[in-house]
Amino acid sequence: MSKPFEKPSILIIDDTPDSITILNQILQQEYRVLFALNGSKGLSIARQQKPDLILLDVSMPEMDGYQVCRELKANPDTRDIPVIFVTARDQDDDHEMGFRLGAVDYLTKPVRPSTVKVRVKNQLQLRRSEELILHQALYDSLTNLPNRSLSMDRLRYAITNDSRDLLKTALLFIDLDNFKKINDTLGHDAGDQLLKETAARLNRCVRRGDTVGRLGGDEFIIILSALEHTVDAKLVADNIMRLFAKPVKISHMELLITVSIGISFSPDDSRDYKQLLVNADTAMYQSKQSGRNNYHLFNGEMNQTVMRRMTLENHLHHALEKNEFCVYYQPLIETTSRNIIGAEALIRWDNPQLGRVSPDEFIGIAEQIGIIEQLGVYVLQQACHFFKDLTGSDGQPLTIAVNVSPQQFRQNHLPDLVDNILKETGLEPEQLELEVTEGLLLGSQSNIKDALLALRQLGVHFSMDDFGTGYSSLSYLREFPFSIIKIDRSFISDLQNKPEDQVLVTAAIAMAHALDMKVIAEGVETEFQLQFLKEKQCDICQGYLFSKPVDGDNFKQLLTQQEK
């Protein structure tokens, strides 16, 4: 078929040299004219040269025009070439026969030059628009890559072909990292340019015959066919990573773009093209999870973790509006008196389908999908409101400890937010204790220090949660306004059998006291642990020995029980 700017080609099949000469004279100025003097020669030229149109005589010796037309239409390579019959036969039956065989038009000899020209031109124009429509239906207009539907077609075809030859087909699922951010900050034009550049780079990584397709958005695929080893696909992935290491120039800026890739293989992972796509997507997701800018080959276990994560993520988005959260309270116990002096607020998520999901599992996801701020506000409001009127056995107000995740500090208004909640609920700032982990302080950005100081100024206290599991840097304790450290559960649970834990706990308590801070031991489950902590003058204990986290009503009950 002719390329744009090339003259369209027309094949004339006719056994009369005179007819060919006449038609050639009419057409040769505008078209590249090919000819054949019999049917079988005509078929072979049609197959090899794929002309844009065929003018076909009907009465020919050996193979007549009808038979030639039948054979053209039966071959996938030639079936779409429009055929116009040119013949001296002018009966209705002949016309009908011609059209039934798939001809698009019918010219009667002797031909008039103007008629031939007009009819040929019309058919070619029609063909062009058909091709254009087909192209639009199968190719992505921005990148000109095969779109989802054509890509899937090619994938199906490759899987079938390769499995017949006992070879592998690899599917690479490629997703740009942070595309949304670029689109949002630099605008859609920049986003479009980036997608085009991505298409160009991906095309450079494959052999002829492999497919690069765009599924939509910033999702691309590559189909590698006829592979002998899985390592061949890894080489392509390595190549992609290398190509993307070079910055992309967009709107006068040099941007570093990375991609996350997942790879699956047929027949190893599945012979079904849809499943293969899901598997490659799953592996891609794994790449995103492990820090982006890398690739993973699919494996069966991935499915479960990723599926679980995706399910949690989906439900988590709506959990707050569906009222699926509540706050539990775990008593904080003064070691010497065994009195309840406060509680830690711990969020609970009950989903109708998933049941109760542990915060250890969903807090991290909530942070990643950006809903931790809303969750944080919810817990703070609930906890402050609930503790407003509660008092301990001695009539003293109780402390309420609330976990705050580093992301809640990112937006600069945390101090105002806490201040507002305190005012709304009427809780005294001194009653509120915010638990943060060391991760927050890494890098010691000044805005975080400012936020901690502003909150401290309000009267709110800070405790360092999970002490001992991170850097346990003394300088953090000095530099930031902490009042309390919470020794992590992992050092308490084996206290009886692990002398090294005993040493650490003892040292941590001594250090905290030297810095004028109090100590809470987490996860106290046995009398031995309590005894040990008492001896070392640990101020406060928290753990199942006293109570598991309980809902508000049960917490109130614990308070009344202790009054008796």
Angle (nearest 5°) at CA 319 between 318 and 322: 85
Residues between 401 and 420 that touch Mg ion (CB under 5 A): 403
- Using DSSP's 3-state secondary structure scheme, residue 483 falls into coil
* End-to-end Cα, the chain, rounded Å: 96
H or E stretch covering 327: strand 325-334
Question: Binding of ligand C2E at residue 359 (CB under 6 A)?
Answer: yes
- Nearer of residues 102 and 470 to Mg ion, judged by Cβ: 470
> Interaction with Mg ion in 422-451: which residues (CB under 5 A)?
435
User: Among 124-132, 140-148, 220-228, 536-544, which window interacts with ligand C2E (CB under 6 A)?
Assistant: 536-544
CB of 82 or CB of 549, closer to ligand C2E: 549
Which one of Mg ion, ligand C2E, none interacts with residue 186, CB within 5 to 8 A by kind? none
Q: How far is the CB of 438 from ligand C2E (least distance, A)?
A: 12
Smallest distance, Å, CB 556 to ligand C2E?
A: 19
- Shortest approach of Mg ion to residue 205 CB, angstroms? 47
Least spacing, CB of residue 295 vs ligand C2E, in Å: 32
| DSSP-derived secondary structure letter, 333 | E
**Positive or negative torsion for Cα 280, 283, 289, 293:** negative
Task: Select 155 or 448, whichever has its Cβ closest to ligand C2E.
Answer: 448
Shortest distance (Å) from residue 407 CB to ligand C2E:
9
Q: Strands, DSSP E only, in 514-555?
A: 518-521, 540-541
Give DSSP secondary structure letters for 129-185.
HHHHHHHHHHB-TTT-SB-HHHHHHHHHHHHHHHHHTT-EEEEEEEEETTHHHHHHH
Euclidean distance between CA atoms 464 and 520, whole angstroms: 10
Q: Minimal CA–CA distance to 448: which of 486, 409, 411?
A: 409
Give me the least distance between CB of 524 and ligand C2E, in Å please: 6
**DSSP SS3 for 486:** strand
The answer to the question of residue 42 lying near ligand C2E (CB under 6 A) is: no
What is the DSSP pairing of strand 325-334 with strand 540-541?
Answer: antiparallel
Quick one: 236 or 441, whose CB is closer to ligand C2E?
441
CA distance 115 to 125: 15
- Opening angle at CA 461, ends 460 and 467, nearest 5: 150
CA 87 to chain centre: 61
What lies within 8 Å, CB to CB, of 368 at 6+ separation is none
Least separation in angstroms between CB 358 and ligand C2E: 5
| Residue with Cβ nearer ligand C2E (167 or 363) | 363
Is residue 279 a contact residue for ligand C2E (CB under 6 A)? no
Q: Contact between 56 and ligand C2E (CB under 6 A)?
A: no
Contacts of ligand C2E in 465-494 (CB under 6 A): 465-466, 489
Please, which residue, 151 or 330, has the CB nearer to ligand C2E? 330
Residues 6 or more apart whose Cβ sits within 8 Å of residue 51: 1, 9, 10, 11, 34, 45, 81
| 511: region left, alpha or beta (phi > 0 left; psi from -120 to 50 alpha) | alpha
Partner from Mg ion, ligand C2E, none contacting 347, C-beta within 5 to 8 A by type = ligand C2E
Question: By CB under 6 A, is residue 98 in contact with ligand C2E?
Answer: no
Which residue has 């700032």 as its token pair? Answer: 429
Q: Decide: is 225 part of the binding site for Mg ion (CB under 5 A).
A: no
Q: Which stretch binds ligand C2E (CB under 6 A): 5-13, 68-76, 507-515, 521-529?
A: 521-529
By the rule CB under 5 A, 466 interacts with Mg ion: yes
Out of 512, 543, 552, 555, point to the residue binding ligand C2E (CB under 6 A): 543
Q: Are 112 and 22 in contact (CB under 8 A)?
A: no
Say whether residue 520 binds ligand C2E (CB under 6 A): no
* Binding positions for ligand C2E, 249-278, rule CB under 6 A: none
Place of tokens 């997703």: 175
434 binds, among Mg ion, ligand C2E, none (CB under 5 to 8 A by kind): none
Q: What residues between 360 and 419 interact with ligand C2E by CB under 6 A?
A: 360, 363, 379, 403, 405
Q: Is 353 in the site for ligand C2E (CB under 6 A)?
A: no
Establish if 525 lies at the interface with ligand C2E (CB under 6 A).
yes
Neighbours of 70 (CB within 10 A): 13
Nearest to 539 by CA among 403, 328, 393, 339: 339
Contacts (CB under 6 A) with ligand C2E, residues 303-332: 330
Which residue number has the CB closest to ligand C2E?
543
Residue 15 interacts with Mg ion (CB under 5 A): yes or no:
no
Question: Which parts of this chain interact with Mg ion (CB under 5 A)?
Answer: 403, 435, 465-466, 522
Question: Which parts of this chain interact with ligand C2E (CB under 6 A)?
Answer: 330, 346-347, 358-360, 363, 379, 403, 405, 435, 465-466, 489, 522-525, 542-544, 549
